[in-house]
Amino acid sequence: MSIAVVVGTRPEIIKMAPVVKELEKRGVEFIFIHSGQHYDYEMSQVFMEELGLPRPHESFKLDNSNPASQMGEMMIKLEKVLEKYRRPRVMLIQGDTNTMLAAGLTALKLGTRIGHVEAGLRSFDWRMPEEHNRRMIDHVSHYLFAPTDIAKKNLLEEHVWGEIFVTGNTVIDAVDIYFDKIREVEDKVLSQVKFKEYVLVTFHRAENVDDPHVLRDFVRILGRSPLPVVYPIHPRTRKRLQEYGLWSQVEEIPHIQIIPPQGYFEFLALMKNCRVIMTDSGGLQEEATHPKIRKPVLVLRTSTERPEAVIYGFARVVGINPVVVLAELEKILNESLKLPEQSPFGDGKAAIRIVDIVVSRLET
């Protein structure tokens, strides 16, 4: 088979699902490889079934959590798989995790062309491990599938040597594909929410939750929010709150509802029905712009690799200073927002464009 599709984490699975489905629709043969991160391997298997994706041809669990060890383990295991399938001509990878960088480097050393889905994102924040990873992946990729013109500009300014294509972001495709699933779970999800109106919060990035001062400011924001908060808490954040002695303060906030991490459909249902999103996530900044969701986002970071969301009025980068964040939250709640009808991240046809390009290159 000439194409390998590699996924590892849940965001990668979501964003590659439209590409996998498009390959299946056209009858294009491919190897589907799941290089699971150690902490969500079993969950990812169930998750792929929920998304209607085929069972991976090859799947393995990464036991190491140390970044360097994890990358080494990934490269060793993936090399064996690619050799087994006689070195596919193209490998498609998505995003900027350690395992995707490892996959790209393995492909490079084996002479397999690399297609990077979601190329060209830049936060210009070197505290983020993802910023290192995506830059390196882009500079070894043969086909760079930039979601927007801004991402293309970043790639041109860095003089990458691969071919650049503006395709849109497959996350918009994914929301289109699975929107009926959101409707199916919506009533059940909302019946479990205590509040009619709420701020939806996520907060999990290492540069935020591993800093006790930042985490303390985050708790202050939660405690002073003028609107009730629904917070699907990440295990990493819960652990840090407990380690830093902040967990009891969170539990005492009367207007907060802590819930477990949600499934993809359930979380989109919460997004669709909230007033505002406060997050340090990158993907949420994209999903919030989908025409059927269209929610304002306060980005709890000092930078974003999705400036399009800011330019189009969906997102505001507010950092983590409680005074600034709460002022912006009040402003949004009191404004009459008119968000654009269209997403700056594409029209839901990114996967079609990506598969068109890959298939055409295989024919040459």
Residue whose token pair is 């979501």: 14
Q: Is 204 a catalytic residue?
A: yes
Structural contact between residues 246 and 216, judged by C-beta atoms closer than 8 angstroms: yes
Structural contact between residues 27 and 113, judged by C-beta atoms closer than 8 angstroms: no
Distance CA 237, CA 204 (A): 6
- Encode 75-94 in three state secondary structure: HHHHHHHHHHCCCCCEEEEE
CA 192 vs. chain centroid, Å, equals 25
Distance CA 184, CA 50 (A): 13
Q: Which of 38, 116, 132, 204 is catalytic?
A: 204
What b/e string do you get for 292-313 counting C-beta neighbours within 10 Å, with b at 16 or more? ebbbbbbbbbeebbbbbbbeee
Query: In DSSP terms, which residues pair with 4 in a beta bridge?
Result: 31, 91
Distance CA 317, CA 355 (A): 34
Q: Are strands 297-299 and 315-317 parallel, antiparallel or unpaired?
A: parallel
What b/e string do you get for 78-112 counting C-beta neighbours within 10 Å, with b at 16 or more? beebbeeeeebebbbbbbbbbbbbbbbbbbbeeeb
The residues annotated with a catalytic role in the active site are 204
